[in-house]
Amino acid sequence: MVFMQEREDLSFGVSLCPVKQRVTQNLMELSDERLMAQIQSGADDAIDAVIVKYEQLLRVIIDGKGITHPDDANDVFGDICLAFVKQVRKDPTAIREVDKWLKQVARNKCADFGRAAQKQQHAVALAADIQRTAAEQSRRGRAGGSRGEAAMMFLEGLDAKYVDVLKLWEAGYTSAEIGERLGIPENTVKSRKTTIRKRLSEALREFSPPEK
C-alpha cells in the first residue's frame, strides 16, 4: 500500500505511523538514487521510504512558512506527498534530485495555502461586515441602500446549517474544529464554506453599481 491511500487520514491529522511501519530499515539506508531506481522498477514501498525519510525536513519548511496549526500543517504536508506520488506515477525520471524537488514543491504548496487562507479571510471579513450592516439596518428599521439590501439578501438566503458554519468560521475555527463542534465531516464543512462564499459573491454582485 502506498502513501496515496493514507492521504485522507493525513488531512485529518493522523500521523504517518502506518506508513512508517511498512518501511524497513534496509530501505531507509538506501540513497535517494537507489530509492528512485526502485520506484522506477515498481516498488511502492520505496515511495513510502522517501516520504518517511523527508517528513521532518518538509515539516520544518511548512512550520517556517508560518503554517503552525496541526490541521493546516498536515493538509499541506499531505499535498506535498501526494504531488510526489503523482509525479513518480507519471514520470519518475523528471525528479533528478529528490531533496531539491521536494523542497520546491513544499514552498509552492505553502504559497498556495497562504493564498487560499487570504481568500478565505477576505470572504469571512466580507460576511462579517454584511452581518453587521444587516443588524444595523434592522435596528434602524430600513433597508439602508444597496449594501444593506445585499446584507439582508445574503443572510436570509442562508439555511441554519450554513449560519452555524459561518459563525464558527468567523470566530477563527479551522474546518476540522468546526466539524468536530458541529458533529459533521470536515469535507462537509469545506463544502458549506464554498457555498457561503458563492452566495456572498452573488449577493454583492446583485447590488453592485452598473458598469459605465
pLDDT digits (tens, 9 = 90+) for 78-89: 999 999 999 999
The per-residue pLDDT of the chain, averaged, comes to: 77
pTM exceeding 0.85: no
Task: Tell me what pLDDT residue 7 has.
Answer: 45
Q: Read off the CATH number of the domain in which 166 is found.
A: 1.10.10
Domain annotation covers residue 55: yes
Q: How far apart are CA 30 and CA 21, in angstroms?
A: 17
Domain annotation covers residue 88: yes
Task: Tell me what pLDDT residue 2 has.
Answer: 47
Give yes or no for residue 149 having a pLDDT over 70: no
Q: What are phi and psi of 101, to 5 degrees?
A: -65, -45
Task: Tell me what pLDDT residue 91 has.
Answer: 92
Same domain, 78 and 141: no
Question: In the chain, how many domains are there?
Answer: 2
Taking only the tens place, the pLDDT of each residue in 5-43 is 444 443 333 345 555 555 667 788 889 999 999 999 988
Q: How far apart are CA 136 and CA 159, in angstroms?
A: 21
Same domain, 122 and 75: no
Which residues span the domain enclosing 35? 3-96
